[in-house]
Structure 1
Amino acid sequence: MELPFLSVVVPCWNEARFIAGFLDSVLAGTYPPDRMEILVADGMSDDGTRAVLRRYAARDARVQLLDNPGRSKPAGLNRAVRRARGEVILRLDVHADYPPDYLERCVRGLLDHPEADNVGGIRISRARDDTVLGRAIAASTTSVFGAGNSRYRTGADRPQWVDTVFGGCYRRDVFDRIGLFDEKLTRAQDREFNQRLRAAGGSILLLPDITCTYYARSDLREFCSWTYEAGYWPFKASRLVGRWIGSWRNLVPMGFVLTVAAGAALSPVSRTARRVTGTVLGGYAAAACTFAARLARRHRDPALAAALPAVFLATHVIYGAASVRAVLEPGGGTR
C-alpha cells in the first residue's frame, strides 16, 4: 500500500545548534522522499539558523523555509499547516533526534488504527550538556514523581489512549474539523489543541514502539525558566480559552506549594500545623530520595542519587508557584 503524502510541520527560532542535526535525522529516514515535505516556520532567527535552512532548502526540495515574523509558535505551526499539502500532518520539535523509521512508524500507526485521530510515541530524554545537573534534569522528566502520568515521558509497555503526546501525527481532516492551533497561547498550544480534539470526540493513541530522543535543558537558568512557564501556562491558557485544558498532574505541585506555605505561616501559632508541615516535608523528602535512587540505578549513574532530590524540589516549587500566580493573576494576566 502506498503511503500517504506527509507534511512535517516544525516551529523554529534561533536553533543554530540543533537545526542541521534535526534535518539530517528527518531527511535520512525511510519515508519515501517523493511522498513528503518538511515545512519549517522560522521566527526570523538571527543566530545563523536561517542560513542553514536556506542551504538545506537549496539542495533538497523537501525542505521549505516559511517566515514567521511574530515568532509565536502556534502562529508558525498554523502557517505551516495552511501551506501543507499532506493527507497526514506530523508536528516535530527541533530539539530532538528521530530514528530513520520514525516518520514511517507514525504514519503506519495512524493507518493501522483508523479509530485514532492523532498518534505519537515515547520521548526519551537526554541531557544537552553531559553534566550532573544536565543528566539529573533529563532523568527527572522520565519519572512519575517528576512528570506525573505523562506517558509519553515516563514510558508505556503497550498502546494506550492518552490525553496528549509529544508532537503528534494527525489526520489532515482533524484541522478541518476543529480548526488550527490557538494563537493566543504562547505555550500549551499543543495541550489545548489535543484537549479540543478529545472534546470533539477525537482520540489520541500512544504507541510505545515509536520513540525519539529529546534533548532536555541542562542550564540551570533555562531549566528554571522552562519549569516556570510549564507551570504557568496550563492555568493561564485555561483562563484565556475559557475551559480547563490541564490534568490532575498539573494541580499536584500547586497543592504542594500551597500546603507547605500555609503550614509555614501557621506553624508559629499552631502545633498541629507544625506537625502536618513536618509530615508533608518528611514524606516528600523520602519519596524524592526513593525515586532518585531508583533512577540512579536505572541509569547506572550514582551521582543522580544526590542531584535528583534537589531537581525534584526545584521543579515542584517553581512549577507550583507559577501555577499559583496564573490562578491569582487579575484578568488572566498578559504574560
Structure 2
Amino acid sequence: MNSDDGFLPQVSVVVPVYNGEMDLPELIESLRSQTYPPHRVEYLLVDNNSRDRTSAILETAAKLDQITIRHLTENQIQSSYAARNKGIRASTGEIIAFTDADCRPESDWLENLVKPFVDLEIGIRAGEILALPGKTILEQHADRQNTLSQKHTLAHPFCPYGQTANLAVRRLVLQQIGLFRPYLTSGGDADLCWRILRETSYKMYFAENAIVRHRHRSTIKQLQSQWYRYGESNKYLHELHSVDLMREFTTGEYFYRLARWLLREFPLAAAKSAIGGADLVDLFNTPIGLLNVRARSMGQRQAQLPESAWDIERF
C-alpha cells in the first residue's frame, strides 16, 4: 500500500501476551517488517500477568523507535479477552486488528487486512492462518488437517466468525455492540463476531492474502489442552447464544473408528509406508484425531459458564 491509494486509516494492533518471552522476539521482528506505513499504526502488547521475562522484553521494545510499541498490563482478570479489551480501550486507531504472541504475521499482513475497510459496509475482516513449519508428528497432523484455518470458522453452520489470531474490526462497530466478554476464557472471538453480524448490518470479509503463521502444538498435553478448550468454547457459546453446538462421539462410534483403523486403515498405511507412499502422519492420523475428539468431549461435559461471563465491556 502507498499514499497514492488514498486509504490509510490509523490502525491499532492489539496482542495479548501471557508468558511470552520465547515468542516475543520473533513476533516483534514480524511487526517491524510490516509494509503498512509505520506512522499510521500502533502496536499495543498487553501483558496478562506473565510470570517470565515478558514485561522486561516489552519495556525494552517500547523504547525502540522503528515502530510504535505500547506496553500495557492487565493483571486483574486472567483472560486473553480482558487483555484485548485493555488494548482496545487504550487504542487510537480507526481499525483495530488482533493477533497472538505465538503468531508470525507475514510482512504484508496488515496492509492486506486493512484494505477492504475502504468499503464502509465491512465491519470485520478475517485473514488466513497457516502453520509455521513443524517437525513433530502432532504438528504435521494439525497442519495437514488445516486445524487453525479460518475457512473452518467462516463456514460455521450457525454463523461465520474469525479467530482473533488474525482479525480486524472497525472501531465504530465495537462502540456500537461492545467489546469482548472479559471473563470468558474460550469462544470470545466467535461471540464477538456473532454479536456484530447478528445485531448490526455490517458484513465480514475474508482476506486469504492477509496471512498470519501460527505454531501448532508439539506435545500431547498441549494438543489435548487445545481441543479441551474447543469443547469449553462449544459449551459456553451453546449457553450464550442458545444454539446447539455440542458435537460428541458416542462410545460405540469411538470404538468403531478405532477398530476400523486397527483392522483396515493402519495395515493399508503401513503397506504404503513400506514402499515410501505414506509417512507417520498417515499411520497415526485416526488415533490422533480420536484423542482430539475425546478431549473436546471432555471440555464440553466439564465446562461451566460463570455468571460473570455474561458481562460485556463497553468503551
Query: What residue is the counterpart of 2:136 in the other structure?
Result: 131
2:121 corresponds to which residue? 115
User: Partner of 1:272 in structure 2?
Assistant: none
CA shift for structure 1 position 51: 1.3
Residue 73, structure 1, aligned to residue 85, structure 2: no
Aligned equivalent of 1:267: none
Mapping 1:148-227, distance limit 5 Å: 152-153=150-151, 163-167=160-164, 168-201=167-200, 202-227=202-227
Question: What corresponds to 2:313 in structure 1?
Answer: none
Match of 1:159 in 2: none
Q: Deviations over 1:96-153 (max 9, x none)?
A: 1111110010000222x432211112211235x522233223433x1xxxx5xx8615
Quickly say closer, same or farther: Cα 1:132–1:88, change in 2 above 3 A.
same
Once the two structures are TM-superposed, the CA of residue 283 in structure 1 deviates from its matched residue by 6.8
Distance 2:262 2:183 in 1: 38
Q: How does 1:33-72 map to 2 (within 5 A)?
A: 33-60=38-65, 62-70=68-76, 71-72=78-79
Q: Percent identity?
A: 23
SS at match of 1:117: strand
Match of residue 27 from structure 2: 22
For residue 11 of structure 1, give the secondary structure of its aligned residue in structure 2.
Answer: strand
How many angstroms apart in 2 are the aligned matches of 1:307 and 1:333? 41
Structure 2 runs not aligned, ≥5 long: 1-5, 310-315
- Contact 1:8–1:89 (8 Å) recurs in 2: yes
CA contact (8 A) 1:155 1:208 kept: no
- Higher helix fraction: Structure 1 or Structure 2? 1
Which amino acid in the other structure matches residue 313 of structure 1?
L
Q: Distance in 1 between matches of 2:153 and 2:48?
A: 32
Asked if 2 retains the 8 angstrom alpha-carbon contact of 1:40 and 1:63, the reply is yes
1:91 to 2:102 alignment:
no
Partners of 1:282 and 1:170 in 2: how far apart? 46
Q: 1:155, 1:236 → 2: CA distance?
A: 16
Q: Report the CA distance shift for 1:151/1:99 in structure 2 as closer, same or farther (over 3 A).
A: closer
Q: Decide whether aligned partners of structure 1 residues 32 and 314 sit closer, same or farther in structure 2, where only a CA change above 3 A counts.
A: same
The letter for the 2-side match of 1:132 is: I
Could you say what secondary structure the match of 2:122 adopts?
coil
Q: Give the drift of 1:227.
A: 1.1
SS of residue paired to 1:4: coil
Letter in 1 for 2:97: L
Displacement of 1:46: 2.2
With structure 1 as the length reference, what TM-score do the two structures score?
A: 0.76
SS of residue in 1 equivalent to 2:206: strand
Instruction: Report the secondary structure of 2:44's partner residue.
Output: strand
Match of 1:104 in 2: 111
User: Number of residue pairs matched?
Assistant: 288
- Tell me the residue number matched to 1:251: 246
In the alignment, structure 1 residue 316 sits paired with structure 2 residue 314: no
Residues 31, 332 of structure 1: CA spacing in aligned structure 2 closer, same or farther, 3 A cutoff? closer
Please give the secondary structure, in 2, of the residue aligned with 1:121. strand
> 1:59, CA displacement in angstroms?
1.1
Gaps of 5+ in 1: 157-161, 264-275
Aligned 8 A contact 2:9 2:40 in 1: yes
Q: Which residue of 2 aligns with 1:302?
A: 279
SS across alignment from 1:174: helix
**Could you report, residue by residue, the CA deviation over 1:200-241 in whole angstroms, capped at 9, with x for unpaired residues?**
1332221222222111111211111121111112213443x3
1:31 counterpart letter in structure 2: Y
- Normalization by structure 2: what TM-score? 0.81
Q: 1:311 to 1:57 in 2, by over 3 A?
A: same
Contact 2:261 2:286 in 1 (8 A): no
- For 2:127, the aligned partner's letter is G
Secondary structure, in 3 states, of the residue corresponding to 1:251? coil
Q: Which amino acid aligns with 1:110?
A: F
Contact 2:153 2:160 in 1 (8 A): no
* Displacement of 1:27: 1.6
Can you list the C-alpha shifts for 1:179-213, whole angstroms capped at 9, x where unaligned?
A: 01011201211111111111113322212222221
Contact 1:236 1:332 in 2 (8 A): no
TM-aligned CA distance change 1:210 to 1:285, over 3 Å = farther
Match of residue 312 from structure 2: none
Q: 1:93 Cα deviation (Å)?
A: 1.1
